[in-house]
Amino acid sequence: MGLIARFLSGYTENFLVAVALWPLASAALTLPILAWLYHRDGRLRFGSAVSTYLAVLYVLGLGCFTLWPLPSGEHGLGITYGVPWQLDPLAFVGDFAREGVSTIPQIAFNVVLFMPLGFIAGRLLRWGFWRSVIVGLLASLFIEAAQGTGLFGIYPYAYRTADVDDLIYNTSGAALGWLCASALARVLPPGALAEEGEVTHEPGLIRRCVALWLDMTLMSVATLAVSAAVSLVLHNAPGAEVWADVPYVLLVAAASFVWTECVRPWRHGGSTPGGAFVRMSCETRERTGAHRAAFYAARAATLGAALLFPSLLWLLLALFYLVARKMPYDLI
């Protein structure tokens, strides 16, 4: 136990760095995580959310344990000299002959380090055995390549040993992790996934916000791409300079908004692109004719105003939903 304790004590700083980065990474990934959970499960489950955020911590820890600390200063490992690759798959035999049982913690660490990856692949992502093992192999290969190339050329020399044995241990760990997930599934089956075509017409506030975030991301990308193309034409086509003063960015943004929040959901049962991904419809009940047109007009006006004047309207809409359990346009 003392040998293992001394070995792990060398990684205390790596673990603390991962924990320090975890809140920031979790905050940045919250909306993508929620979107994925809604898409996969059709609802938010506490266990799935906790497991996903723990998976974020694991990925950060994996990076910190294998790549941290980085070289610093003007001289030293990775700056003025490096370490060669270790490409002999039987090198561990010689290491054990020279150093005895002191090599075991390092081997065990490399196996155990990748077991959570296999477990996550099998339990959280529901991947099969070989897919999980291949992902473990590729992740290990990426890390070893980063170590052996000075973080892909950021540093002049390799500051850690790229070891083919680590590749074997890591991949074995991923396989063992998947087998653990499979064994657990026999005792505690994972929750059911969303069915094909499953859509809710009673979305909660969080799901609505996630869908709107996805829609806004799509609108931003479309506006940027189309505006860049228009700008390229205006600056290169003969005689196009007469259109240079046209606010084409605003026109493209408005057209993108109308298509995303009005045209597309009108033709697809109330599902915007983001809504379709998180399995929701903005139409909380059936409406037809002028009634439906009024609903979409009120919804577009509300969302448009909230995008133009976000500081106050988002708060008012959230308070309205908390009291009425619906949005103002749902009353139509």
Determine the angle formed by the axes of helices 129-148 and 46-67, rounding to 10 degrees.
30
Quick one: which H or E segment has residue 162? none
Distance, in Å, from the CA atom of 200 to the CA atom of 203, rounded to the nearest integer, reads 6
**Lowest-confidence segment of 95-109, 114-128, 172-186 by average pLDDT:** 95-109
pLDDT digits (tens, 9 = 90+) for 26-68: 888 999 999 999 999 988 888 888 999 999 999 998 988 888 8
Residues facing residue 181 across a β-bridge: none
Tell me the CB-side half-sphere exposure of residue 86, using CA atoms within 13 A. Answer: 18
What pairs with residue 280 in β-bridges? 200
Q: pLDDT value at position 139?
A: 96
Mean pLDDT of the chain: 87
* CA distance between the termini of the chain: 68
* Lookup: tokens for 51: 């497991």
The residues facing 81 across adjacent strands are 77
Would you state the structure tokens that stand for residue 130, as one six-digit string? 């070989």
Using one digit for the tens of pLDDT, what is the confidence trace for 187-232?
988 878 888 888 999 999 999 999 999 999 999 999 999 888 877 7
pLDDT at 135: 96
Distance between CA 280 and CA 49 in Å, rounded? 19
Over residues 150-182, the pLDDT tens digits come to: 999 889 888 888 889 999 999 999 999 999 999
Residues with Cβ < 8 Å from 101, sequence gap 6 or more? Answer: 3
Element (H or E) spanning 81, and its range?
none
Is the whole-model pTM more than 0.85? Answer: no
Per-residue pLDDT of 5-23, as tens digits, reads 554 555 677 777 888 888 8
Under the banding of pLDDT at 50, 70 and 90, the label for residue 241 is low
Per-residue model confidence (pLDDT) at position 302: 93
